[in-house]
Structure 1
Amino acid sequence: MITRRIVLAGAAVLAFAGSASAQDYKAKYPELTFAVVPAENASGVTERWTPFVAYLSKELGVKVNLRIANDYAAVIEGQRAGNIQIASYGSASFARARLTGVKTDAFANDINADGSTGYYSVFFVKASSPYKSIDDLKGKNLGLVDPNSTSGNNVPRFELDKMGIHDAEGYFGKVVFTGSHENAVLALSQGTVDVAANQWTSDDDSTLAQMLTKGMLKNADGSAMKKDDFRIIHKSAPIINGPYAYNSDLPEDLKAAIAKAFFESPTKDKAAFDRLSDGQKKGFHPATTKDWDGTIELIKFVDSLRKKKAT
């Protein structure tokens, strides 16, 4: 016979087990490391992400440390070694991680202000330049971001290949990896390169827009540059927004807690969430690793171009 006492005792056991389970990951992971790829300079990344990381620490009940990666590969290798538990990836760097056996799983990506979850790779030139298309830039200098950047290397090479330019290094006078999206725009503004590849979601949501808002771009006379000082001469097809990913080997309760904290952040800590994108994102969209299968195929294609060039 099932008595009220047995039911209550059973409920108490379940409650205790649930409570103990909730604490399991805290014992194993008293600290977590959250790494971010270098879309902007280190101080900019710190200012943008510190409030959100503080929010994560509060929600997860363990200290979350922010790591600003020197390059995209550092995030990949940090997750491979298990030194990074949560990462903000670009689509191509996540695909590269998966292709090279890193045990990492996507759980979310950004929702744009218009509700979409994608962006574009664009080629920027200065508006004062005579360049109207890629055809005008043969022998000129191209600024890229990082070998593992989606919009700053892999998609640009794919787009160039579609135009019949199978060897970027042979077509342009010089191809320079600048290290970050901001550095690529800076190189263009300062005349170090004639054209720069970069990420762009809308006129108000891009690395260029963020830099203009912060007053980072100056003319030769010291005056602030404006949006119309730059021109887009080519825009790619839409690219899926890069994922937020956690190590596949993390405890399931910790994975669930991380995802929950992300999805609830726009309402639980709107100020911290809005700081991430200057208020240009609406929230986080639930995602799975398979959502980047198309990007993996893109990376394989770009790798094949490199191999053809080597032979």
Structure 2
Amino acid sequence: MTFDRRQIVAGLAGLPLAAGSASAQSGWQARFPELVMAVVPAENASGLTGRMEPFCAYLGRELGVKVTLRIANDYAAVIEGHRAGNIHIGFHGPSSYVRARTVTNGGVEPFVTTINSDGSTGYYSVLYTRADNPAASIQDLRGKNLCLVDPNSTSGNNVPRFAMSRMGIANPDQHFARVVYAGSHENAITAVLQGTCDGAFNWWNSEQDSNFSRMVNKGMVKPEDFKIIFKSDLIAGSPYAWLTALPADAKAAILKAFIEAPQKDKAAFERLSDGKDRGFHPVTHKDYETIVELQKFVDQMRRARS
């Protein structure tokens, strides 16, 4: 089941940030008998639920509190849930994290990102077309339909808009026949498969680790039917972020549980990435300063068009 931003804010109103507890718990667990973790919609709800629920169960065991998973139907729902104080931990793209930090006036901070199979952190934005499309570059799609993912997606909107601006495509709405937001990375690829869009941006770590490779593994697409015609520079890794207002001992316990996950519950950890990631790497807001500048650029572009 997916939730929009109003449902998340309203539906979790019974979980105030400083809620008391009549249980025998002490310390931060008595104040936070339930933590809510929300995830931006990188793929469909059933896929994300199967991927994330075992990890939430692991966190609950390690932390001694209930950890409730919420799958949002857009990026803004997670951002607004942070602002309302009802989402304690969010799994974001870099841009949605920066947006959440901005709208909460520093009320959200990142604490880990994942380590790729080659030991690196970060990922790329790529542009897919069907293999039989003659286009070899973004410019070649002039007059065609383009699928972006979400206004708060880094690889599915902000990096593509920045890259296109550097190529001289200052206004994609004029370069392409239509520019549409698909809502999720999976939806964007599916739109290309069905012919609704001629090209779609998506996240990509490697040929074996991307949203596209996950769709291949699920039998949703065939690799020979698609090609990549653009690849961005490296982007900072997608962060897990918590509310700054959480107690220091709660943050320490959460961070410890994440770092130890590959050893303490290998199956749950590997389910997150189909076994592609090595572990978690601690991060701070400083690691996302380039994304802050990217967000400013995109916001300026948006204001210029309005």
TM-score by length of 1: 0.89
Q: Is the contact made by 1:86 and 1:244 (CA closer than 8 Å) also made in structure 2?
A: yes
Query: What is the rounded CA distance, in whole Å, between the counterparts of 2:195 and 2:73 in structure 1?
Result: 24
Query: What is the rounded CA distance, in whole Å, between the counterparts of 1:44 and 1:102 in structure 2?
Result: 31
1:1-311 correspondence to structure 2 within 5 Å:
23-100=26-103, 101=105, 103-217=107-221, 225=222, 227-310=223-306
Identity of aligned residues (%): 58
Q: How far did 1:254 drift?
A: 0.5
Higher-Rg member (1/2): 1
Look up the SS of the partner of 1:295 in the other structure.
Answer: helix
Query: What is the rounded CA distance, in whole Å, between the counterparts of 2:114 and 2:92 in structure 1?
Result: 11
Query: What is the rounded CA distance, in whole Å, between the counterparts of 2:99 and 2:32 in structure 1?
Result: 26
Q: Which stretches of structure 1, 4 residues or more, deviate above 3 A after TM superposition?
A: none
Look up the SS of the partner of 1:281 in the other structure.
Answer: coil
Q: How far did 1:229 drift?
A: 1.7
- Can you give the 5+ residue segments of structure 1 that lack an aligned partner in the other structure? 1-21, 218-224
TM-score by length of 2: 0.90
Q: How far did 1:170 drift?
A: 1.1
Amino acid at match of 1:137: L
Amino acid at match of 2:133: S
Q: Compute the RMSD of aligned alpha carbons.
A: 1.0
Look up the SS of the partner of 1:241 in the other structure.
Answer: coil
Q: How far did 1:289 drift?
A: 1.4
Q: How far did 1:202 drift?
A: 0.2
Q: How far did 1:102 drift?
A: 5.1
Q: How far did 1:99 drift?
A: 2.1
Amino acid at match of 1:77: E
Q: How far did 1:23 drift?
A: 2.8
